[in-house]
Amino acid sequence: MKQTVLALTEMAATDVTSARKKPKHLPASKTTYAPLSSVWEGTDGELLEAIFRFYPTIDPEPILDSTYNTGRIWKGSSRQVVSMDIDRGYKPMIVGDNRKMAGVPNASFGTVVYDPPHVGPQGRDKSRKKFDVDFGATVECGKDHNWNLSYLYPPFLKQAKRVLKPEGLLLAKITDMVNNHRSKWPHCDFIRMAEDAGFTVCDLIVKIRNGPMVSSKWETAHHARKRHCFWIVCRNNDSCER
Ligand SMILES: C[S@@+](CC[C@H](N)C(=O)[O-])C[C@H]1O[C@@H](n2cnc3c(N)ncnc32)[C@H](O)[C@@H]1O
């Protein structure tokens, strides 16, 4: 496994020289610049491709997907992705905790992707539900953690910074949620924690979900149904632009 990552790392070192260069001094009509909308109605995979065309100042590959699961977001992609998941049942290339990233070399990836569980077993019902298991949301999420999973972010961010090359991108998919009639704002936590970890947070893209998540338990809840998540774009640098 370690060898796989090292091999990819060596390959990547030669690729950096072929990184996309921004065209300079072109008249407006001849620029290749195509803006990216801050609201995205397509799939995660399509958005990632758009992000890879728009933001990178170095080669975005190899990519470390640090919460791979079944790799739905890479369906149909030809990107060079190294998969990591804490659950060996998903058969990732690296079985490991993204808060430790044991054996992953420093400065070896052009991009780290992070799509953590957004909720875990809560309240009196500590049973493992199928949805939770399928999405890896089986980690502690109780009163000690203010009923949310933001406490997972700082150790992950430290490792993401370590394994990213200078100027590399960290792309995080974060979903807000409501617990016990109170809104939790993990996307705000993530932005603050990423800045604290030394990243520059460059963008926040709203990604629309087809239908809102609903439950019969929410009949009396007075909050808008969350029909979106956020993709947060961070750069391992002290500026968003080169
Ligand atoms: C929401 S799913 C990711 C879905 C994935 N992006 C896809 O497209 O299929 C979250 C995944 O993160 C994994 N996970 C949770 N905590 C982790 C940790 N500390 N380190 C590595 N993986 C973790 C879970 O096992 C789960 O497979």
pLDDT tens per residue, range 135-164: 555 566 666 777 778 999 999 999 999 999
Of 77 and 219, more confident: 77
Give the phi and the psi of residue 177 in degrees, each rounded to 5.
-150, 170
Cβ atoms < 10 Å from Cβ of 175: 18
- Mutational test site, ligand 1, from 48, 67, 150, max ligand atoms within 8 Å of CB: 67
The percentage of the chain sitting over the pLDDT mark of 90, rounded to a whole number, equals 59
Q: Is-contact 197 172, C-beta < 8 A?
A: no
What does the alpha-carbon distance between residue 218 and residue 197 come to, in Å, rounded to a whole number? 36
**Average confidence (pLDDT) over 165-177:** 96
* Ligand 1 atom, smallest distance to 152 CA: 19
Atom 26 in ligand 1: residue holding the nearest Cα: 136
Provide the pLDDT for residue 223: 79
Q: Residue 181 in 3-state DSSP?
A: coil
Spell out the residues 6+ positions from residue 153 whose beta carbon is closer than 8 angstroms to its own. Answer: 116, 186, 189, 190, 193, 194
Whether the link from the prior residue into 62 is cis, omega within 30° of 0, is yes
CB 173 within 8 A of CB 229: yes
pLDDT (mean) for 187-203: 98
Among 47, 81, 85, 90, which residue has the most ligand 1 atoms within 8 Å of its CB, making it the best to mutate?
85
Domain ranges of the chain: 38-121+130-212+224-235
Asked if residue 234 lies in contact with residue 172, where contact means CB atoms within 8 angstroms, the answer is: yes
Question: With contact defined as beta carbons under 8 Å apart, do 113 and 63 qualify?
Answer: yes
What's the gap in Å between 73 CA and the centre of ligand 1?
Answer: 12
Confidence (pTM): 0.82
Please write the tens of the pLDDT for every residue from 85-137. 999 999 999 999 999 999 999 999 999 999 998 875 555 454 555 545 555 55
Supply 1's token pair: 């496994």
Residue for token pair 């932005």: 191
pLDDT score at 148: 76
Ligand 1 contacts (CB < 6 A) are 66-67, 69-73, 84-87, 90, 97-99, 115-117, 135-136, 139
To test the pocket of ligand 1, the residue of 48, 83, 86, 149 to mutate (highest count of ligand atoms within 8 Å of its CB) is 86
Is 242:228 a contact under the CB 8 Å cutoff?
A: no
Q: Which residue has the higher pLDDT, 226 or 47?
A: 47
Return d(Cα 148, Cα 179) in angstroms, integer.
8
Q: Which listed CATH number (3.40.50.150, 2.40.40.20, 3.90.1580.10, 3.90.199.10) goes with 38-121+130-212+224-235?
A: 3.40.50.150
- Rg, the chain, Cα only: 19
CA of 3 to the centre of ligand 1 (A): 23
Distance between Cα 227 and ligand 1 center (Å): 21
